[in-house]
Amino acid sequence: MTKYREIIRLTNLGFSQRNIMASCGVAQKTVVKVQKRAKELNLSWPLDESMTDAELQKLMLTKENAVSSTKRMPDYDHIRKELLRNGVSKKLLWTEYMEDCRQAGEEPLMYSQFCYYIQQDENKRRATMHINRKPGEQVEVDWAGDTAKLVDPYTGEITEAYIFVGVMTYSQYAYVEAFADEKQQSWIDAHVHMYEYFGGVAKILVPDNCKTAVIHNKGWKDQRINAVYHELAEHYGTAIIPARVRKPKDKPNAEGSVGNISTWIVAALRNEQFFTIAELNTAIRVKLEEFNKRPFQKKEGSRYELFHDEELPLLTPLPTTRYELAEWKQATVQFNYHISVDGMLYSIPYEYIGKKVDVRVTGTIIEVFYNQNRIASHRRLYGRKGQYSTVTEHMPKEHQHYLEWNGDRFRKWAEGIGENTAKVIDSILRSKRVEQQSYRACMGLLKIADKYSPQELEAACKTALSYTQSPSYKSVSNILSAAKDSVPESTGDSTDTPKNNANGITRGANYYRRK
């Protein structure tokens, strides 16, 4: 799929078509068509956030995109391999090419054109030239082949430290830092520190084909920029143009500086012992300052002078905030409309229950996306596992209504019924470590007044308190139920039937006479 969004972004940043081709992995014809179509549609960066990639693609596609060349071009890879075989000539290959075109019903090139295009392809593969870079245009980055040594102060074990090298192409001004590994976190931290050391950002970033920079699919030819690395490029407003595989001339300054750095920094520290990465980097920084201020051998000045006089003023200013490494995960929205990330739970709008969502995790923020649209954002939780971050708007209406209840409201309601009821409610609220866990019991107890009466509930609470200082909803409910069962139905004016009066229950004279 054509990277329309990225081509428009890089065009807005002022990159040449050649650089856009290299960064996006597309042909110049594609870049020209996208730029022309974007101009016709008055599209500029940043694009409307609501516009999806599918909508953008639909806008960009025109009838001209579907029109292909009327003539079939040669298969250069096949021709190059066949010409290495004995007896195979261009004339023979053209004859076979003509036959293939005839069978496929395609229009072929004439022999002269056929040879011309093959020659052009050969020239492209053989051509080399020195490219004069503009100040502040490009920085080349790589891991040095030689490693430094760290000594464990307790066991004496020696471990390796990996050296990151960044070099400004124009001035050859260098940045060097040691890391415990070559993983994604170290790679991103190295770039952040490098830009801060330079005091600005170059327009183009040329990395090697390491996994932390480039993802390879189906071999070396099909490659794309690592998603996290691309985020860093967007944050700093630069374009990533990876060096071709096994093509050291694509980043000659980094390759050349690695050798010099191995000599003047790594080898110069070979007789010193370092116990931590911090100690090693402190020593490296001293040697790095000496290396950058060392005079050139074949021209006047030094890397430091050339960089500060001509490159630094042309660098793009650093963004107001540092880039923060983000980790992407997948999660399923649970039935309680929360997702679990590293043992913590974060709410999602309840409409997404059961859906799989993408989660962007940084050191401070949790962002949740569904179909590339952000649906929730939370401050990241730390500490005890199982904590909840819940946004009220994410809850169903009936659950939002439940949040209106709290301990003080239950206490006030109970005081309106009576002193003993208030004591029981207070005891129930204090019985749980988390007060909210007791709300259901409080609601059930106070609702008993609707089934019986407030006076009966108050009497039952008084009875329950006479048995224990911390009665439960169930104990009060049982007392009321037992009292109801012990009172028989009225059968008229019989003197044997217990009677209700203002002082309680009394029995007739005949009852005691029989006793």
Q: Residue 26 in 3-state DSSP?
A: coil
Task: List Cα–Cα distances, 109 to 97, 98, 115, 122, in angstroms.
Answer: 9, 8, 9, 18
Which of these, 452, 498, 504, lies nearest to 478 by C-alpha position? 452
Give buried/exposed letters for 345-365 (b at 16+ CB in 10 A, else e). bbbbbbebeeeebbbbbeeee
CA pair distance 274, 414, nearest whole angstrom: 70
pLDDT-derived band at 401, boundaries 50, 70, 90: low
Residue 373 pairs in a beta bridge with 370
Does the domain at 4-66 match CATH 1.10.3470? Answer given as no
Backbone angles phi, psi at 133, to 5 degrees: -80, 150
**What is the residue extent of each domain of the chain?**
4-66, 76-126, 138-314, 327-401, 405-485
How long, in residues, is the chain?
515
pLDDT beyond 80 at 67? no
Whole-number pLDDT of residue 385 = 84
Residue 214 pairs in a beta bridge with 225
Task: List Cα–Cα distances, 465 to 142, 163, 415, 421, 435, in angstroms.
Answer: 76, 73, 16, 10, 21
Q: In the predicted model, what is the mean pLDDT of the chain?
A: 81
Q: Parallel, antiparallel, or unpaired: how do β-strands 499-501 and 365-370 relate?
A: unpaired
Whole-number pLDDT of residue 504 = 47
pLDDT-derived band at 514, boundaries 50, 70, 90: very low
> Does residue 495 or residue 401 have the better pLDDT?
401
Any idea what the Cα angle at residue 199 is, between residues 193 and 203, rounded to 5°? Answer: 90
Mean pLDDT of 413-431: 90
Whole-number pLDDT of residue 68 = 40
Whole-number pLDDT of residue 33 = 85
Q: Residue 334 in 3-state DSSP?
A: coil
Which of these, 265, 260, 257, lies nearest to 288 by C-alpha position? 265
Whole-number pLDDT of residue 363 = 80
Task: List Cα–Cα distances, 328 to 56, 192, 394, in angstroms.
Answer: 24, 20, 22
Residue-wise pLDDT for 249-307, tens only, equals: 554 555 556 667 777 788 888 888 899 999 999 999 999 999 999 898 877 889 999 99
CATH number of 138-314: 3.30.420.10
47-51, 130-134, 239-243: least confident range: 130-134
Residue-wise pLDDT for 307-333, tens only, equals: 999 899 999 999 998 888 878 889 999
